[in-house]
Amino acid sequence: MLTLRLNGVDVRAEEWWSLLETARFYGIEIPTLCYKDGLSPWGGCRLCVVEIGEGENSRLVSSCTYPATEGLVVRTHTRRVIAARKMMVELLLSTCPSSKTIQDLASALGVQRVRFKVDHEDCVYCGLCVRMCAEQMNAKAIGFVNRGGKLQITTPFDRQSDVCRHCGACMYICPACQLRCQGPEAANVVCGSCLSPEPTCTEFYQDQMCYMGAAGGCGTCIREAKKAV
Ligand code: FES
């Protein structure tokens, strides 16, 4: 066990805990998007930032990837931390404004407006689908390619993957896909695949993953929904 100072209180933590795990153990809420129990921490969304150190040397780090360290001074809700989280959630909202997950995060942080140009339902590169596929489904069917503005999540060589089992786990965990999939009962159904452990579209939709193109582009789920009623 080690001791660190968390929000002005000396607390004990296991050596292998991250700052996020330590804070959660002591009942402190820290918002997260790209962190999920059961998947390796990635540090992509920066929503979980906390301030470490004191005075001029203090800095922001992502708590999901930063290890609990002996003697570390950590503050989870300073003005600087809150401002950074709000900025991050604004950026996420501008990329994916209809995501219930992101909307809930924005609401919890009191973000009511977005100062950036709003796009529609794009990938926020949280990497959850990639880790889900590799770590829980043991498939590694998708991954990141390119960098910067050309960054993309896709299959090797952008081709239909031989190892994809069409399990739908990537769509299930994706905060961008969930907004487009209103469920087969909804009047505005676009793609209900993420709600089903057996997506209806994957046999038909050439690119396999709906986030790679227009959701519901194949129309399969709409036909299936109509059949069901
Ligand atoms: S939850 Fe820690 S960086 Fe995304």
The domain ranges of the chain are 2-89, 128-228
Task: Tell me the residue type at 148.
Answer: G
Ligand 1 centroid vs 23 CA: distance in angstroms? Answer: 14
Tens digits of residue pLDDT in 126-152:
999 999 999 999 999 889 988 888 888
Ligand 1 centroid vs 221 CA: distance in angstroms? Answer: 32
pLDDT at 213: 46
Consecutive H or E run containing 43: none
Tens digits of residue pLDDT in 160-200:
778 887 777 887 888 887 655 544 444 444 444 444 445 55
Ligand 1 centroid vs 212 CA: distance in angstroms? Answer: 23
18 lines ligand 1 (CB under 6 A): no
Percentage of residues in the chain having pLDDT higher than 70:
76
Q: Are 111 and 86 in contact (CB under 8 A)?
A: yes
Q: Which residue has the tokens 């501008």?
A: 94
Do the domains 2-89 and 128-228 sit in the same CATH topology, yes or no? no
Q: What is the CATH number of domain 128-228?
A: 3.30.70
pTM: 0.79
Domain 2-89 annotated CATH 3.10.20.740: yes
Ligand 1 centroid vs 131 CA: distance in angstroms? Answer: 13
d(CA 118, CA 98): 11
The stretches of the chain forming alpha helices (DSSP H) are 19-25, 79-95, 100-109, 128-131, 169-173, 177-180, 220-228
Q: Are 109 and 89 in contact (CB under 8 A)?
A: yes
Q: Please state the atom number of ligand 1 nearest to the C-alpha of residue 41.
A: 2
131 lines ligand 1 (CB under 6 A): no
